[in-house]
Amino acid sequence: MAENENVRQRTSDTARGGEPLLRRGRPADPHPETGDAGRVAGAATGAEVPANRPERGATASAGRLETDDIPASDESVKESSTGESPQNIEKTLAESRQRKLRLMLRQCDRVLLLDFDLLALPDWPDNYTLAAARRNRDIWLFGALLAAVVFLSGMTGFVPAWIAGGGFGAFVIILLLGVPGVRRLYTSRPSYLDLVIRRQRMIRDARKHIEHLEGKEGLVWQCARMAEFNPALKATRFSELLALSERRVLARNLTRREHIRLYLIYLLEAEKAYARAQQAFFEGHQQAIDRGWSSVAAEPGDRA
């Protein structure tokens, strides 16, 4: 007990005298594991171990070693692996995008020549008007045939001569009423033949306009590339139009009004896609000017 009392007294006197509990030993090893172990040991003993600071030359050399060991940044690695900086990659992508939009606009610019009134067929005779004109034509033919039969019956002596003469006069009058010049004097309604001729003429004019729009390359087939700006161009009802346009035989196969109306609907959807693609091109053009990319901010070529 007396020895323990002496030991505790010497320990307390040493601590009050300011003498450190642990004496300075050899310099710490440069490896971080040793430093960590020393800090753990110091924390376990409850004493604070002073750091052994190396000399100035050693500090500089250690700093150079640590600097050399630092890995390169992500941008440097990307630049060294691809050979281009992110700004150059973005510029290349923008230039490719502008080139693609410029090609779309050049190939589909003939959609701006669309004549809506010509393809819409606004004066197309409806089926009711055509049926009424057909009924009037049938009545006219029946009257002319009946008068001719009466006249021929009088020639054979089957009916009296005055009845045959009356039949001949009726036959001539009915024939004159069917002449277009005389018909306009007593009615303004077109005849069945006039309506049929009008339909044929309207379809012929529409096909000529479609042939002009299609050109040598096929307008519908080229406008299909702008489907990303208007998904309606991918509808299955337009698949036959795309196939015919790709084979350059679209105009000659549009023989009915329904075909021409379908073609008109496709061109209207293509106009929407063209306007959106043009807006995207102008936005990319302005962005390239703001960033100083002269190769990207190129004017679109002449229209085909």
Q: What is the pLDDT of residue 274?
A: 94
Query: With 70 as the cut, is the pLDDT of residue 72 above it?
Result: no
With b for 16 or more beta-carbon neighbours within 10 A and e for fewer, the 127-142 pattern comes to eeeeeebeeeeeebee
For residue 46, the Cα-to-chain-centroid distance in whole angstroms is 73
Q: Give the H/E segment covering residue 164.
A: helix 161-177
The overall average pLDDT reported for the chain is: 75
pLDDT of residue 92: 73
Is a pLDDT exceeding 60 seen at residue 60? no
Give the single-character DSSP code of 294. T
Are 250 and 220 in contact, with CB atoms under 8 Å apart?
A: yes
- Among 71-80, 153-162, 199-208, the range scoring the smallest mean pLDDT is 71-80
Taken in order 128, 130, 136, 142, the sign of the CA dihedral is: negative
Least confident of 36-45, 115-124, 214-223: 36-45
Count the Cβ atoms, other than its own, within 10 Å of residue 99: 12
Per-residue model confidence as pLDDT tens digits over 98-155: 888 888 899 899 999 999 999 999 889 999 999 999 999 999 999 999 999 988 888 7
The whole-angstrom separation of Cα 198 and Cα 189 is 13
pTM over cut 0.95: no
Please say if the pLDDT value at position 277 is more than 80: yes
Higher-pLDDT residue of 186 and 230 is: 230
* Residue 108 CB partners (closer than 8 Å, separation 6+): 219, 222, 223, 225, 226, 270, 273, 274
Sequence length of the chain is 304
